Amino acid sequence: MSEIFQDAPHEEPPNYQTFERATVGIRKKLLSQKRSQIAQYQIVNISFNALAIAQIAIGAAITALGPLGGQHMLAITILGAFNTSIAGLLALLKGRGLPQRLRRNLAEVTKVLDRIEEATVLLRYGSRRFSKKEIDALIQDVMKRYATANDIIETNQPDTYANGEFSQPHTSVTAVESSPSQRTHSIVINGKQRARDEEMGTNESL
Pairing of strands 192-197, 203-205: antiparallel
pLDDT at 190 over 50: no
Q: Is the pTM of this model over 0.75?
A: no
Specify the DSSP element, H or E, that contains 184: strand 184-189
In a domain, 173, yes or no: no
How does DSSP classify residue 10? P
Predicted confidence at residue 174, as pLDDT, reads 41
Cα distance between residue 162 and residue 100, in whole Å: 12
Residue 54 CA to its chain's centroid (Å): 31
Predicted confidence at residue 62, as pLDDT, reads 87
Question: pLDDT tens for residues 43-66?
Answer: 999 999 999 999 999 999 888 887
In a domain, 197, yes or no: no
In a domain, 190, yes or no: no
More confident site: 29 or 184: 29
Q: Nearest to residue 43, comparing CAs of 103, 104, 86, 112? A: 103
In a domain, 176, yes or no: no
Q: Choose the weakest-confidence range: 77-81, 99-103, 118-122, 166-170.
A: 166-170
For every residue of 132-178, DSSP letters joined together read HHHHHHHHHHHHHHHHHHHHHHHHTSGGG-----B-PPP--GGGTTS
How many distinct structural domains can be found in the chain?
1
145-173: average pLDDT: 68
Q: Which domain holds residue 76?
A: 12-162
Q: Nearest to residue 122, comparing CAs of 193, 76, 170, 90? A: 170
In a domain, 179, yes or no: no
In a domain, 153, yes or no: yes
